[in-house]
Every structure is written in structure tokens, then in C-alpha cells.
Amino acid sequence: MSIIETGATLHEAHRDNHTHRDVNGGWLRPAVFGAMDGLVSNLALMTGVAGGAASQQTIVITGLAGLAAGAFSMAAGEYTSVASQRELVEAELDVERRELRKHPVDEMEELAALYVARGVEPVLAREVAMQLSRDPEQALEIHAREELGIDPDDLPSPTVAAVSSFGSFALGALLPVLPYLLGAAALWPAVLLALTGLFACGALVSRVTARGWWYSGLRQLVLGGTAAALTFGLGSLLGAAV
């Protein structure tokens, strides 16, 4: 086998074994946060009301109201947060765009200095910066990546964030209510289904993280179960006091 063939083989093997998972969390964070928040908050809300010796009808209404209120709140909050972040990024991009138009040479030297700071030889750094600065749009993208750490072509969508947060929260919050809607007359089926859902969500998240499925599942189970138990106890105390 020639050196060229060996290099091609190594290159192919390296490519096949050098793929990375999405670590930006663009979709993972709102989806996981929404589902977990829906499960934990609605389970805790329902157990708190149940701890106060409320009727089955009151528990169901509380669960449905918690689902609706939480889902709309999550959607509105996520939309506002992402929209504000996007507006800030777009404002900074406008600043950079104006600087590239008014002071192209200074911006080119600035880019060259960044490469020099990373270990590139000054002559080579200046040549690379000069070539990259020939196209204004490419220059804007490079400066945005190097100076702001963002991709102008991959800005988050407020609508997508709001819809995904609404859906994931509603799905998670539905689990504790579902047994009652199917005819359950006690709290334990709702708690059991919600805790199972927490474990399953945690285990599912482990597919895109470095943790084992059992660790992620148990972590979510313990956190959600603790929140529900504490709220049930608080509800019992308040119910007895009132």
C-alpha cells in the first residue's frame, strides 16, 4: 500500500470515528427543561393539593390548570428570552457590519492580530486575513465567529423555542393528570406514572450525554420525587393548619 493510499485510509477512519454530538444544546436544553419542569412542577402541585385533603375533582382541575398555566408561561418566557438574545446579536452584527464598511483595513488587521495571538506567524496571519476580507459577507461571518462567538446564519428562532417549550412542558405536565383522566381515584397511580416518566426522560437524555442511562434516570427520579414529597408534606401541614 502506498503512502497516499495509507493516508487516504487513515483519513477515512479518522472521519468515521471523529463525529461529535451537538453540544450547543440548541434543542436539548429547552426540550429537557420543559418536559422536566412540566413533570416536576405539576406533580408537586398536585401532591401538594392532595396533601391538603382536597377532593379528586379539585386535584384534577389543579393539574389541568397547572398544565395550561405552565405551558403558556414557558412559551412566553422562552419566546421573550430568545427574541431578546437574537435582537442583541443582530445589533452587534450591525455594529460589526458598519465597522467593516467604514474601516475595512483596521478590521483586517484586527483579524490578523487574532490569528497571531493563536500562534499563526504574522505574515501568514495577515495573508489569511486579507484573503478572508475580500468578501464582505464572509468577512462579517468570520469576525462574528472570532469576536462574538456566534454564527450569523444559525441564530435561534423565538417561535421554534416557544413552540418546543410549550409542547414539552405540556407533555410532561400531562403525565400526572393522565391517570385521573382515565378513571383513577387515588394519587398513587399519578405519582407512579410521573416518576416513571422522570426516569425515562433522564435515561433518554443520556443518549446525547456522557452519563449512563441509569445515572441520568435515577438523578431525575430522585429530584422529582423529592420535590413531590416535600410539597405533599407542606400541603398536609397547611391543610391541617387551615
pLDDT of residue 18: 47
CA nearest neighbour of 89 among 1, 138, 7, 158: 158
pLDDT digit string, tens, across residues 210-232: 678 888 889 889 998 898 899 98
- The more confident residue out of 126 and 26 is 126
Cell 414529597 appears where? 229
pLDDT digit string, tens, across residues 106-118: 888 888 898 898 8
pLDDT of residue 154: 80
pLDDT band at 24 (very low <50, low <70, confident <90, very high): very low
pLDDT digit string, tens, across residues 131-186: 988 888 888 888 888 877 888 878 888 998 888 889 999 999 999 999 999 988 88
Rank 53-57, 62-66, 200-204, 205-209 by mean pLDDT and report only the highest.
62-66
pLDDT band at 13 (very low <50, low <70, confident <90, very high): low
pTM of the model: 0.73
Q: What is the DSSP string of 81-147?
A: HHHHHHHHHHHHHHHHHHHHHH-HHHHHHHHHHHHHHTT--HHHHHHHHHHHTTSHHHHHHHHIIII
pLDDT of residue 25: 45
pLDDT digit string, tens, across residues 33-79: 788 889 999 999 999 998 887 889 999 999 999 999 999 999 999 89
